[in-house]
Amino acid sequence: MESTALDHWLSDLNLPTWRYYEEVGSTNDIALAWLDRDAPDSALVVAGHQTHGRGRLGRTWISVPEAGLAFTLIVRPNAQSPFPVERLTALGALAVTQAFKAGFGVDAHIKWPNDVLIAGRKVCGILVELAWQEEQLQGAVVGIGINVGRAAVPPAEGLHYPATSLEEALGHPINRWEVLRRVLEAFLAWRSRLTDPEFMAAWEQHLAFRGEWVQASDGLNPPLVGRVEGLSPEGHLRLRLEDGSEYRLSAGEIRPLPAPFAESSGGEDA
């Protein structure tokens, strides 16, 4: 039944091939094994239900049957499309934000480096994993998890970051396979344009917390406090620290600081 529905939504997208599983541990694991064999570039793995999804830093991604959307795209280096691995996470996030806006009229922003937010709450996470054979990079898998229905949002006490769903933003239920199609359309459109200036401009345009104060941590050094200014050409997060200096965060995560801190630090005009 679900496979037939996917045929309807995906048949004209020019995907080389795709596989649907009613239930898997992780779509990334399935995709990595397929990549190790013969999967072509832009091959797709979709799950009806994912039981052991994962995110960055060893965290889990909870997937709810029929409410959550879990899928992975396989990306291989080829002569036709550039392959800057440092932009693959942004590729997934940008595809989701643009799909939400173009398909459903919902504004979303990219919480650097790998989450998508609606009204400041997490609705999507992206996990990119690389596949190596000795010292040769074979490709990557771009795993995307989206809270489509309200039931996909975990209880608040178990969350690392406040969460929401696309259904909550819309105010009515939505077909998750339509969401998948919209995201895939945007993903495939940007796939060959990762090194274009327009890609960086679109990424920066959708960046969450621009002009706002955040706490940033790379897991190695004490947390920093800075105001988000944008992105460097390498995709690092540019922060303006309290002493006026610029710091570029190459890895880690950020959290917005409460309004009283922003006010004490001079607010938007500091």
Share of the chain above pLDDT 70, in %: 90
Rounded to whole angstroms, the Cα distance separating 199 from 195 reads 7
Share of the chain above pLDDT 90, in %: 74
Of the listed ranges 45-49, 99-103, 222-226, 262-266, the one predicted with least confidence: 262-266
Predicted confidence (pLDDT) at residue 270 exceeds the cutoff of 50: no
Rounded to whole angstroms, the Cα distance separating 99 from 94 reads 8
**pLDDT value for 7:** 86
Q: Provide CB contacts within 8 A for 184, sequence distance 6+.
A: 10, 13, 15, 44, 73, 95
Rounded to whole angstroms, the Cα distance separating 25 from 217 reads 30
Q: Which of 61, 109, 113 is nearest to 254 (CA)?
A: 113
H or E element: which one contains 213?
Answer: strand 213-217
DSSP secondary-structure letter at 154? Answer: P
Of the listed ranges 47-51, 121-125, 168-172, 245-249, the one predicted with least confidence: 47-51
Predicted confidence (pLDDT) at residue 158 exceeds the cutoff of 50: yes
Domains of the chain and CATH, by start: 2-205 (3.30.930.10), 213-269 (2.30.30.100)
| Strand-pair category, 136-147 with 68-75 | antiparallel
222 CB neighbour count, 10 Å cutoff: 6
- Contact between 137 and 148 under an 8 Å Cβ cutoff? The reply is no
Question: At residue 34, what is the residue type?
Answer: W
239-246's contacts with Cβ under 8 Å and 24+ in sequence apart are 239/214
Q: For residue 206, what pLDDT band results from cuts at 50, 70 and 90?
A: very high
Q: Which two tokens stand for residue 48?
A: 């009806």
> What average pLDDT does the structure give for the chain?
89
Q: What is the pLDDT of residues 164-198, one digit of tens each?
A: 999 999 999 999 999 999 999 999 999 999 999 99
Q: Which residues of 81-94 are buried (b: 16+ CB within 10 A; e: fewer)?
A: eebeeebbbbbbbb
Rounded to whole angstroms, the Cα distance separating 241 from 180 reads 39
Q: Which of 114, 150, 146, 129 is nearest to 50 (CA)?
A: 146
Question: At residue 26, what is the residue type?
Answer: S
Question: At residue 94, what is the residue type?
Answer: L
Q: For residue 269, what pLDDT band results from cuts at 50, 70 and 90?
A: very low
**pLDDT value for 191:** 92
**pLDDT value for 266:** 53
3 state SS of 234: coil
**pLDDT value for 218:** 85
Q: What is the pLDDT of residues 38-53, one digit of tens each?
A: 999 999 999 998 887 6
Rounded to whole angstroms, the Cα distance separating 253 from 116 reads 13
**pLDDT value for 5:** 83
**pLDDT value for 267:** 47
Q: What is the pLDDT of residues 45-96, one digit of tens each?
A: 999 988 876 655 555 656 677 899 999 999 998 767 778 999 999 999 999 9
Q: How is 78-134 classified by DSSP, letter by letter? A: -SSS---GGGHHHHHHHHHHHHHHHHH----EEETTTEEEETTEEEEEEEEEEEEET
